[in-house]
Amino acid sequence: MEVLHHPSPVLRSRAREIDPSVDDDLRELIRAMATTMYDENGIGLAAPQVGVDKRVIVFDVDDNLAALCNPVITELGEEVVVEEEGCLSVPGIMVPVERARRVVCSGQTIEGREIMIEAEDLLARVLQHEIDHLDGIIILDRAPAEKRKELIKAYNEANRL
């Protein structure tokens, strides 16, 4: 699968909820997304990044591949941390992004079973980043206002836009 890059309009639209129990293509989609993520040395990938209009994410922050359907942040910790983030859809730059250090996230497994994940630090960051993709939000949108212009310029130069 090919990863779409900014400024693809697909990256800016809200992806649709799915019903894992009736989605026959889900297993294959997740397998293909995982392969793409590993090929590109990413630690997370959202379906819209490969042009698929579904609320599905895959991630691997600790050598465990996981997939989540219709993920929702149900609890956002008060403590926030700024860290540089990269994105396979925004190649060539790193963007300082403020995120909650701890989140609780709910969603469904590919079998349609409800699950809840309590995440901290890198996993919490990856979940927030990938769920942003499902809502059409990319890291440039999360850049500090005073750095946004400079980052967009750097992105355009790195990608010859």
Output the CA angle 84-88-94, nearest 5 degrees.
Answer: 25
Spatial CB neighbours of 39, under 8 Å, sequence gap ≥ 6: none
Nearest to 56 by CA among 16, 88, 4: 16
With respect to Zn ion, which residue has the nearer C-beta, 87 or 95?
87
Per the structure block, which two tokens stand in for 19?
């019903």
One of 47, 50, 57, 87 touching Zn ion (CB under 5 A): 87
Shortest Å distance, C-beta 90 to Zn ion: 7
Active site residue 84: no
- Stretch of 9-17, 21-29, 79-87, 110-118 contacting Zn ion, by CB under 5 A: 79-87
Q: Per CB under 5 A, which of residues 22..41 are in contact with Zn ion?
A: none
Residue 4 and residue 133: Cα distance in Å, rounded? 12
Shortest Å distance, C-beta 145 to Zn ion: 20
Residue 149 and residue 161: Cα distance in Å, rounded? 14
Q: Per CB under 5 A, which of residues 113..152 are in contact with Zn ion?
A: none
The CB-side HSE value for 97 (13 A sphere, CA atoms) comes to 24
- Stretch of 12-20, 59-67, 82-90, 92-100 contacting Zn ion, by CB under 5 A: 82-90
Shortest Å distance, C-beta 140 to Zn ion: 10
With respect to Zn ion, which residue has the nearer C-beta, 30 or 87?
87
Helix, coil or strand: residue 136: coil
Positions touching Zn ion (CB under 5 A) are 87
Q: Which residues are catalytic?
A: 130
